[in-house]
Every structure is written in C-alpha cells, then in structure tokens.
Structure 1
Amino acid sequence: MRAVRKRITVGAVAAALITGLAGCGGSDEPSGAGARGPEKGAGPPQNRVRLIGDGSTAYTGAQPGLSKPTRLVPGQRPPQFVVFSWDGAGEDSQKLFSHFRGVGKRYGATMTYFLSGVYLLPEEKAALYSPPGHAPGRSDIGFNDTEGIRDTVRELRGAWLEGNEIGTHFNGHFCGPEGGVGTWSVEDWKSEIAQAKSFVKNWKTNSGLVNEKPLPFDYDKELIGARTPCLEGRDNFVRAASELGFRYDTSGVNNQVWPKKDGSLWDLSMHLVPIPGRDFETLSMDYNFMVNQSGTAKGDPAMHRFWGNQMRDGLIQAFNRSYQGNRAPLIIGNHFESWNGGTYMRAIEETIAHVCVKPEVRCVSFRQLADWLDVQDPTVLAKLRTLKVGQAPAEGWGRFLAAPPAKASPSPGGGTAGQAAARVTAPSGTRRDG
C-alpha cells in the first residue's frame, strides 16, 4: 500500500462541511498487555493450527486476550467502555498500524481494525475485484504491492494475537450518488462482503507470498461487523449483514446513549461529540474534525497543533460526560492518515493515554462490547437506555440498578404469604377491614 491514499473529493468535503456528519473520506509477537477489564488468556496451542483453503488463514483456537464477559450484578455501576476503531486498516510507509498496535499495548487497549479488502490484492490482480455498479478492477482507493501486503498481513496477524478485532471496511470505498455504496442493493452488499472475505482468505495465492505465515483466524467466523464507506448505504447493508450472521454495525450517527439492536444487529453507531469553542457537535471521527476545521487535509501548518488539541479535548469532554454520567459506551472512529501534519493521530494517542488508564474504564473492540451487551439482562439495558446524554442516575447507581423486589408468593389460603402471616399474628381483638 506504498502509495495508497483515500481520496477526499470536493463533493465529500462540501457535504461534510454542511452537515458535520459525513463519514470517512511491529512486530508479529503478542505482548502481555491487553484491554483493561477482561483478563488475558493463554495463546493458541501450536498443535491446534489448522490451515484453511490455500493457507492464507488458519484455525488456531480461541483468540488470546479475551475472557468470558460477565453480567452486571444488581446495583453495580456499569464499566465505561470506549471503542477506538480504524477504517481501511493497512500498513504503509507511515507505519501507523504498527504504531497504534504499540499504543494499544502500552495503555491496555484493544481496538477494532476495519480492513479494506483491496489492501490484500496486488495491483496486477485488480481485475479480480468486481465492484457492484462498476467495471472490474475499479476502486476509489488504491490496491497494494507485494511488500505492502506482506506488511499489512504481519500487522493483522499480530493485532489479532493481541486481542484486537479484524472487521471490514469492504473494498473499493465508493461514495456519492454515482455508483456509491448508498445506491447498492442488498444483493450488491452481499457480493461486496463475499469479495472482501475472498481477498483475505486468498491473499497468498493472489500475492504469491506462499511462504508467509497465515492469518491466525477463520475470517468467516472472525468477521462480525463493519462500517460502511462514508457511512452511506446503511439500510441495505444492515439487511444483508443480518442475513449473513453479522452481530453489529457502526455506520450510523447517534448521541452518547446506551445502544440498542437494529433487528438482529447491535447498533454501535459513532457519536456526536463537542468541538470545544464551537456551538455545534460533530462526529467522533478524525475526518469530521478535519473537515470542520480546515476543509482540507493540508490546512495552515500554524493551526495544526490547535486543531489536534481541539479534537483531543472534544473527545475527552465526550468521555467525561459518559464516565461521570450515564456510562454509555463511547464510540470513536479514525483513519491511518497524516492529515494536517498528523495532528489527529497525536490527538487520538493522547486521548487513549488519558482515558484508558482510568478506573472502571475498558478500552475494547466492538466484538468485546457486543459480547458484553449480549450477556446483560435486557431489562437492565432498557433501563440504562432511559438515561440521557451525560445523565447520571439521581438516586445513585446502587438504587438505579438494584434488583427489583421479589414477588410475594400466594399462600394456600388465598392472598400473599405476607397477608397470611398478618392474619395469623394479629393480636386478638384487632379490627380487620375487608
């Protein structure tokens, strides 16, 4: 992916400026650090490695770094979840994938990396991609070269072994009304998903890197969620994803409230967060801060530090209002890009360093968040959803999430057991009404 860059079109920038809501324009070896909260597990036994297909992927057992989620006990304050996620994850000359793997290990954070499938497809094999509504070999982002594929696979492998999630950002990143993903049908989305999986499951054959180590997971089972390009086409994507057994989507826009399901999928939409000094909020994504600040990836260098600080402070304000308020998970999206001198990468790293080390905070992947939501009492989640942005329970968490009073059981003589006891123990001569 040596020269791979996402294109920021004039139309996309203009739309984002108007709405403030548009979406996106190391080493192999796992470390002992992992997400705060879930404890690290043992690595996969070496004798359980089973190659899949051409050996691009392999079954290696349960993913290291994850533990079984537990249900809140009555009266327990929820942990503060924060999800840092990356669109179009790949390793190029900037080495941001490997860098943020290191950041995650340093601060006990696991993350979700949304891989663009064409990053595992060499330029000379571009015609293998048949995007819906476009000619074979067409893509609005670049394909890769052999070394870029080797580097990206190395980072994907290491990231998964450290407990991170590998999702998908699909392939060609088509946006807008002319053949963009917002025009795709359910069947178009199924085709795009199948091709994204295929490029992961056949990267050795397609690249010729047959002697490299496999990715240590079965991608058909690993892939449970996604974010659509430019946050477009969500309705038909969700229908397709539901039919294919996905578990969540993060292509929407929401306030900082507790998530609910959209059909069978958890709606883990990104959030509207403050822009310090401005009278409106924007999406919790580096691209949207950039568009609302400079409108270009190459803005005034004298403003770079200010813009990065503004993004960092806005995300921390958003974190604080959840952490001190309703404890709704905070969802943040990013790109491995050096827009405006890399100031947004600095902002994200400083945000991670600030929030992920705090008590009761779990910086996790979408998979880990979905796992936790799945084991909670639905009535508890419904009650959490009654809390507004930044609203802590007035009576305190202990009472707000206390166990409901036990229902009294009927007595043999009619009425509740408590009423029967009253009839037995009432002093002689006591008047009984009714």
Structure 2
Amino acid sequence: MSAAGRRNPVRASRRTLAVGALAVALTAGLAGCSGSGDTAQQGARGGAGAKKAPAAAPQSATRLIGDGSTAFTGNQPDQPVWERLKPGQQPPQFVVFSWDGAGEDSQKLFSHFRKVGKRYGAKMTYFLSGVYLLPESKREMYDPPQHSPGRSDIGFNDVEGIRDTVRELRGAWEEGNEVGTHFNGHFCGKDGGVGTWSVEEWKSEINQAKSFVKNWKTNAGLKGEKPLPFDYDKELVGARTPCLEGRKNFVQAAAQMGFRYDTSGVNDQIWPKKDLGLWDLSMQLVPVPGRAFQTLSMDYNFLVNQSGTTQGDPSQHEYWGNQMRDGLVQAFERSYRGNRAPLIIGNHFESWNGGTYMRAIEDTIATVCVQKDVKCVSFRQLADWLDAQDPDVVAKLRTLKVGEAPQAGWKAFLTPQPAAPAGAPAAVKPAARH
C-alpha cells in the first residue's frame, strides 16, 4: 500500500457509495453501510440487577490457542451479572453503540472511541472485518463465496495495520467491550453479493472470518506480539451483515453455528424477539429532525439522506452532524420516557463529511450514557440481560408500541395479577340499569 493508504484498509479499494437499497429509500436511507469511504464522569446509572462482575483470571491462567494468535485468559473483565426484573420494576434503558468493519487506521478512530467509552462508562460492540487481519501479500488465502480467491470489496491490510488493529481489539476486550464480526469481503448487490449467498456459503464466510482472527500471527509474521485475550470460537456470538443484505440465510447459518444475536435487519424501537433462537437486535428507524420521514440509526443512512456523498458541501457539515445527533437523542428520549425499548445505533470509523458523524456519535454518547437508569452496553451484554428475564415479561414489554409508556405506570404494568382462588365463583357482571 502507499503511505496514504497503508493505514486506511477500507479506503485502499473501492470508494463508491453504490450499495443495495432498501425498498423504501427515503424512509430508511440506503442499506445499512457502504463498506468503503473516501469527552466527564459516568454518572448515576442504576437499573435492573447488575451485580459486580467477577474479577478476571490472573495472567498465569493464560492458555495459548493454536499458533498463539488468541488465548484463553479467563472471564472477560468488567462484565455485569444481570438479574431478573423484580415484579413492578421499571426496566433500564439500554443503548448499544456499535461499529462496522472495526479496524485502526490513520484516522485512529478505534483508539479514540475506546477512550470515549471509558470516559462515559459505555461498553460497545466492534464488528471486525476479518480481512483487516490478513496482509495484502496473503490475500489469496481468502476464498470468498461466488468470487475468485483474493477478491474483496474492501482493502486488505499491511503488517503495521494488523499490529495496530490487534492492539485496539485486545484493549477493547480487556475493557469489557465485545468483538463481533462484519465478515470479510463486504460484497453487496446482485452480482455475488451476500444477499445471494446460500446457508453453506455463509458458513464458509464465517469460518474464514474466524480463521483470519485465529491465525493473524502466522499470516502476518508477528509471532512476537501478544495474543488476543479470548477464544474467538466462544467470543463470536453476533454480527451485522454487509449492507444489511442476506439476513435470511445468514441467520440460518448463525443459528446452526451457535450465534446468539443478529443486528442486520430493520426494526422499530420496540422490544426485541428471537428469530431461530437468535435475538433480533436489528437497526432501528429513528427521527430525522426537520424532515417528514425516519431513517436507520446509522451514520451512513443519515449521510445518504443529507448529502448522498462522503464529500458534501462543507458549509453543511455542522448542520448535518447536529441533525444526526438530535435525531438519535430524540429516539433515545422516546424510549427512555416511553417503552424503554433498547436503542440500537450503528456506525463506521469514517471521516465522512468532515468527520461530522463522528462528532455526532460522541455527543450522543456524552448525552445519553450518563443519565439515570441508562446502560450503554454491548450487544452481547444486552442479549445476556434478555436471556436472564422471564420470557413472559419480555413478551409483555413487546406489547408496548414505539414511545408508549404503560398507562398505569411500570409498577402496575409489570406486577403480576393474583390468580383467583381455586373454586372461587366468577365475577358477576352487574345488571344493566334501565
């Protein structure tokens, strides 16, 4: 790679915004991501049942896996231990900030948002693209479905880029964040895109993404580096598909491979349900202030509805960033004061339109993550909480519409009604008066 492109693996290849469109482009923007691209105390955050997490295993417990690219190091640090909601207890407000194609490049946005997360007590999910741990010289090792070996619609990396990305992944996990996957080649559209892949082709893509993580030391010749501190076969439990395409067959493959959630669809801000055993934690429709429609809760979709390009009118950059921030905060407020449905937000480490969307996300984190009863968590942590709840309670939460708070308050809404004693006569309806 050139010096300019060396630490920008995504920019090293295609730079277009031509990705698959959703059926309602104005409502949701184009499909969720492009695959290319030209700061306080935590505050009081109570809520349902988070106990102190067990301490991480001592360093002596480290057990290298395979070539030493990964290792078992004990329980992940800084994880909540959830409890069931008590009868009548209001659920916490969950917010998930997530990043597609997470890698550290010359913008240093991965390392920056790790600091932002620590500043505001936010855990996040980083969806790693496997080819970011595969050097350009070894690109032929990637055999993508329906494409020739070595083909990718995003860039491979160089050795220094792999070293930097691994450093950030290691630190993120040790700080309690999640490492998911954004797969590998980021193929979109009808010509061999992920939306055309079979279940078996998805399994191949997943296994290759795992392999690049589990063998980065050998592939990059970095035997002296520290391992990633997790067993990726166990760590990897969720994903977001490129351009939000191919979800149907991906979920089938993921269910067979032990995944726990997917975040590749389009939802309203309501409580989630399971699909083939996976929690559907899809992207959500959120307000676009000043406009008569909603869009997906992702930086790219705001961009599509604002400039349609990564290099829009500089005089509009501040306005566009403010519009995204205000839309996300409005979405937060209608859940926080309404049905308390988790808010799902997706992003890219990109400086589109002068970096205005990165500023918008940082402002949103600073605004929402410090509020009472708010928990900014990873997808895995949210899935843990959902699995800890009474399924009947989650089903009842799903009856609340977008922004709808229980009419009689949370205590009445989530307090079970006592059953009538056995043999008790049924209530008699009073006779109508004439």
Q: TM-score normalised to the size of structure 2?
A: 0.91
CA-to-aligned-CA distance 1:23-82 (integer Å, 9 cap, x gap)? 100xxxxxx989956445423311110000000000011100013211000000000000
Please, which of 327, 331, 334 is the counterpart of residue 347 of structure 2? 334
Please, which of 311, 327, 331 is the counterpart of residue 314 of structure 1? 327
Q: Is the 8 A contact 1:34 1:163 kept in 2?
A: no
CA-to-aligned-CA distance 1:125-170 (integer Å, 9 cap, x gap)? 0000000000000000000000100000000000001100000000
CA distance in 2, matches of 1:278, 1:153: 41
Q: Is the 8 A contact 1:35 1:108 kept in 2?
A: no
Gap change, CA 1:309 and 1:82, over 3 Å in 2:
same
Q: Secondary structure at the match of 2:375?
A: strand
CA-to-aligned-CA distance 1:377-412 (integer Å, 9 cap, x gap)? 11111110000000000000000001231452x5xx
Q: Secondary structure at the match of 1:342?
A: helix
User: How far is 1:14 from its partner?
Assistant: 7.1
Alignment of 1:217-366 (within 5 A): 217-366=230-379
Alignment of 1:159-178 (within 5 A): 159-178=172-191
Alignment of 1:411-430 (within 5 A): 415=423
CA distance in 2, matches of 1:281, 1:22: 14
CA distance in 2, matches of 1:52, 1:125: 22
* CA-based RMSD: 1.9
CA-to-aligned-CA distance 1:81-127 (integer Å, 9 cap, x gap)? 00000000000010000000000000000000000000000000000
Gap change, CA 1:33 and 1:62, over 3 Å in 2:
farther
User: How far is 1:20 from its partner?
Assistant: 1.4
Indicate the residue corresponding to 1:424 in structure 2: none
Unaligned stretches of 5+ in structure 1? 26-31, 420-434
Q: Is the 8 A contact 1:13 1:291 kept in 2?
A: no
CA distance in 2, matches of 1:238, 1:403: 34
Residues 1:198 and 2:211 aligned together:
yes
Please, which of 189, 197, 203 is the counterpart of residue 202 of structure 2? 189
CA distance in 1, matches of 2:178, 2:25: 31
Please, which of 57, 68, 78 is the counterpart of residue 70 of structure 2? 57
CA-to-aligned-CA distance 1:330-371 (integer Å, 9 cap, x gap)? 000000000000000000000000000000000000000000
Q: Is the 8 A contact 1:35 1:109 kept in 2?
A: no
Moved over 6 A (4+): 13-16, 32-35
CA distance in 1, matches of 2:204, 2:45: 37
CA distance in 1, matches of 2:285, 2:336: 16
In structure 1, give the amino acid aligned to 2:33.
C
CA-to-aligned-CA distance 1:205-252 (integer Å, 9 cap, x gap)? 000000000000000000000000000000000000000010000000
Indicate the residue corresponding to 1:155 in structure 2: 168
Indicate the residue corresponding to 2:32 in structure 1: 23
CA distance in 2, matches of 1:170, 1:329: 25
Unaligned stretches of 5+ in structure 2? 1-5, 35-40, 427-434
Aligned residues: 407
- Segment drifting more, 398-407 vs 169-178: 398-407
Please, which of 2, 9, 16 is the counterpart of residue 9 of structure 1? 16
